Amino acid sequence: MTWNWDVARDFLPELLDGLLITLQATALGSVLAFALGLVWALALRSPTRFVRWPVGVFVEFIRNTPLLVQLFFFYWVLPSWDIKFSALTTGVIALGLHYSTYVAEVYRAGIDGVPVGQWEAATALNTARGRTW
């Protein structure tokens, strides 16, 4: 059997459509992951354990569940509960939610990497909490 370029040329438009959808899902999922990751990171640093504990359990559950299982859940289980999205929206939500938990850990590490003296200096200068962050 030999390689047939005519067959490959016939499939090229479908492959390019798939590439475009993949790039869209990646870009939109990344934006969602960056935004949600910041929310999770700040919630995990909350002084209230009633916020910190449920968010911590949720983040660890999502991180310990395979992405493929989450994609199947969003695509097949949610519609049975009358929560329906398009295939692209489902993929973006699943990718964004899954990777937001990893991004939260990156944000947490960055926040924890700030020396204590920097936080104390901001307090000593009477800098507003929002400006300190």
Report pLDDT digits (tens) over 33-59.
Answer: 999 999 999 999 999 999 999 999 999
27-132 under CATH 1.10.3720.10, yes or no: yes
3-class SS at 96? helix
What is the rounded distance in angstroms from the CA atom of residue 4 to the CA atom of residue 131? 62
pLDDT of residue 1 exceeding 80, the answer is: no
Closest Cα partner for 36 from 109, 103, 112?
A: 103
Any idea where the domains of the chain sit in the sequence?
Answer: 27-132
Q: What is the model's pLDDT at position 36?
A: 97
CB neighbour class for 85 (10 Å; exposed up to 12, middle 13-18, buried from 19): middle
Inform me whether the pLDDT recorded for 8 exceeds 90: no
pLDDT in tens, 61-101: 999 999 999 999 999 999 999 999 999 999 999 999 999 99
Q: Is the pLDDT of residue 130 over 90?
A: no
Whole-Å CA distances, 40 to 8, 21, 44, 61, 126: 45, 27, 6, 13, 27
